[in-house]
Structure 1
Amino acid sequence: MGFLELKGLTKKYGTAPVVNDVSLSVDKGQLVCLLGPSGCGKTTTLRLIAGFVEPDGGEIRVGGRRVSAPGDSVAPERRNMSMIFQSYALWPHMTVLENVTYGLKLRGLAKEAAQQRADTILAVTQLSQLAQRYPGELSGGQQQRVSLARALVVEPETLLLDEPLSNLDANLREEMRFEIRRLHDQYRYTTVYVTHDQAEAMTTADVIVVMNQGRIEQAGSPEDIYQRPRTEFVARFIGGTNVFKGRWDGQDGVACGNGLFLRCGAGDFSGENTTAVSVRHHDVHLSAGKPAGETNAVQGTVTRQIYLGSHRDYLVALPDGETVRAVAPSTTSIPAGSSVWLHLAPGNCRALAH
């Protein structure tokens, strides 16, 4: 039994289910990322956990105690949870210190004890020198640290984050990903983190929960989600991939057309006559000559080549017009218009469930 449990959680707006029969168990001290495109239900799930929205079906339990069910929900302020919003939601007329201690004052903590706890969290979040500044005098990254400090200082059982880095520029986002993970490792709060950015999820999460159309598509460690996607949606959403569709031969092969027959080293054929095969962009090998063997190779024409410093990004057209993306070392330079062979090693071909 997990510390935070969602059981058959459902929320509808009108007749459309936004969260549809979601069940999830989060262990105490885990950081779980809800990942998916806009409209997949991840933020609504977070708001259900926070108590801002009441479910139409199912329940939420925290530490074995039911906090949400249809017609019977504990108020947000009684859940011992802290939430960090996309907009930071800092009080503009309060200093950093006043923002951080505000929650402690509401809880009736003595002034000296509140100051001591605030000093500790400001040091941890590297804000001690900014304690007397106002939010308008801070950078985006500094404001995000204030938001984190304010959430952590009240020592919540559960920490909720709703796309907290989306307003930051690329460099700050990367810095804050590691900062959030560092603080989590230090305090080990049970954390649910909503994002649509796969790099954020891969950097911060113990468990990634991929959501699609209100349901959980797959849950697992970052490595498991990336290396072993179960469905076409997960394969496409997490990392770049090529998806080839064809007819299963009843063993470990898929005939995909274009003269391409793929032996698959892993995956789930699910007993179907047709299936899909995922091959990551960086697992497509380019060569001038035909690779040895009868399978897992096809000839095409380079239609685009982009130099990106550490690597080159290729787009290759197959005889029927289907395109394949490949990532190659920057030293591999094949001009557009050139004929090229693609080799897709069986160990890098994964059959996907329908």
Structure 2
Amino acid sequence: MKGVDLSVEKGQLVCLLGPSGCGKTTTLRLIAGFVAASGGEIRVGGQVVSSAAGTVPPEGRNMSMIFQSYALWPHMTVFQNVAYGLKLRKMSSEQINKRVREILTVTQLLPLEGRYPGELSGGQQQRVSLARALVVKPEILLLDEPLSNLDANLREEMRFEIRRLHDEFRYTTVYVTHDQSEAMTTADVIVVMNDGRIEQAGSPEDIYARPESEFVARFIGGTNILSGKRISDDTVHCDGDFILNCGSGTLAPSGRAIVSVRHHDIEISENRRWETNTVSGRVVRQIYLGSHRDYLVSIPGGETVRALSPVDVRLPVGSEAWLHFPPNDCRALAR
């Protein structure tokens, strides 16, 4: 870790997003108390729980953690799995029964309360894991790649389920994932991590529409990175000998100038239809994807540009194509 400085407000759902090895799971384990801090501090509600001087053990923190594997007791029913944490807290049978039935109702598991984990689907097992974590009313909920073992359709369904449960209970939640769609669907705040540090933190819209670095622009959604020489704060002479005017962002004062343009923001045509922010190239790939066409165009300077177009734009491989980069969709990057 390289000096991570992060504040999570009460009731927020914060996603730590990044590639494998970027430090997101280590950060989560530090919050949980599974890893001792060698420096700095971790505070919960103003109270220090981790520092170089000492660490409050996981059982001393009012936190629930959900791992990639659901870790359900195979010999216990759904009801018994969810009730387990309450029994450890020596609550009365009446209290346990009331609270478990409440959480099973909210997570749509009440009809399955008598089943065993082996009789459940992956999505149902994940909901049991969530119910077990929520029933103890934790101060903080921690999730480590909780949907990674589900198939694509179940993952999509569970993203919305996690967000629905968060809106219902408003627990402070830290959620680790490498899946951009998961983060965009569930998070109030996305924290993009890279090489043990935070690249950028903000709302899903901020991270997608207003990336501050080349890494964030590339990692969140598809983008083209065009580089060249800085002419002014918002203008670049690109290597392919064309000019780009940028409607947002700020270029670095020195060094290479870098511009991000999303694939779907680029306009493509067989003829030149625009006077500025345009360049011609040669189509090297064209794929029909039902709702749109996916083009790869080689432009002067040796770069290739990926552009998504409506299906009625048909340019064969090898033909000339004109690309237009709308200024308002060109994002100057300082890093």
Pick the aligned partner of 1:298 from 279, 289, 292.
279
SS of 1:171's equivalent in the other structure is helix
Pick the aligned partner of 1:338 from 290, 294, 319.
319
Equivalent residues, number: 335
Q: What does 1:52-63 align with in structure 2 at a 5 Å threshold?
A: 52-63=34-45
Partner of 1:77: 59
Matched, 1:314 2:295: yes
SS of 2:253's equivalent in the other structure is coil
Instruction: Tell me the alpha carbon deviations over residues 297-319 of structure 1, each in whole angstroms, 9 at most, x when there is no partner.
Output: 11111111111122111111113
Q: Find the aligned partners of 1:70 and 1:197 in 2 and give their Cα distance.
A: 32
Matched, 1:272 2:254: yes
Partner of 1:3: none
Q: Find the aligned partners of 1:236 and 1:273 in 2 and give their Cα distance.
A: 20
Matched, 1:323 2:304: yes
Instruction: Tell me the alpha carbon deviations over residues 11-48 of structure 1, each in whole angstroms, 9 at most, x when there is no partner.
Output: xxxxxxxx211010111000000000000000000000
Give the conservation status (yes or no) of the 8 Å contact 2:239–2:300. no
Q: Find the aligned partners of 2:233 and 2:141 in 1 and give their Cα distance.
A: 47
Amino-acid identity (%): 70
Deviates more, 1:156-165 or 1:245-254: 245-254
Give the conservation status (yes or no) of the 8 Å contact 2:225–2:259. yes
Q: CA deviation at 1:140?
A: 0.6
TM-score by length of 1: 0.93
Matched, 1:140 2:122: yes
Partner of 1:9: none
Quote the RMSD (CA, aligned, Å). Answer: 1.0
SS of 1:176's equivalent in the other structure is helix
Matched, 1:197 2:179: yes
SS of 2:157's equivalent in the other structure is helix
Q: What does 1:16-27 align with in structure 2 at a 5 Å threshold?
A: 19-27=1-9
Partner of 1:164: 146
Q: CA deviation at 1:232?
A: 0.1
Q: Find the aligned partners of 1:226 and 1:118 in 2 and give their Cα distance.
A: 39
Give the conservation status (yes or no) of the 8 Å contact 1:267–1:350. yes
Q: Which runs of 5+ in 1 are unaligned?
A: 1-18
Partner of 1:209: 191
Q: Find the aligned partners of 1:245 and 1:257 in 2 and give their Cα distance.
A: 6
Question: What amino acid sits opposite 1:61 in the alignment?
Answer: R
Q: Which runs of 5+ in 2 are unaligned?
A: none
Q: CA deviation at 1:273?
A: 4.2
Matched, 1:33 2:10: no
Q: Find the aligned partners of 2:228 and 2:273 in 1 and give their Cα distance.
A: 22
Q: Find the aligned partners of 2:274 and 2:173 in 1 and give their Cα distance.
A: 50
Partner of 2:29: 47
Give the conservation status (yes or no) of the 8 Å contact 1:54–1:71. no
Partner of 1:233: 215
Question: What amino acid sits opposite 2:208 in the alignment?
Answer: Y
Instruction: Tell me the alpha carbon deviations over residues 176-212 of structure 1, each in whole angstroms, 9 at most, x when there is no partner.
Output: 0000000000000000000000000000000000000
Give the conservation status (yes or no) of the 8 Å contact 1:92–1:136. yes
Deviates more, 1:62-71 or 1:236-245: 62-71
Q: Find the aligned partners of 1:332 and 1:158 in 2 and give their Cα distance.
A: 50
Q: Find the aligned partners of 2:268 and 2:321 in 1 and give their Cα distance.
A: 7
Partner of 1:127: 109
Give the conservation status (yes or no) of the 8 Å contact 2:241–2:301. no
SS of 2:3's equivalent in the other structure is strand
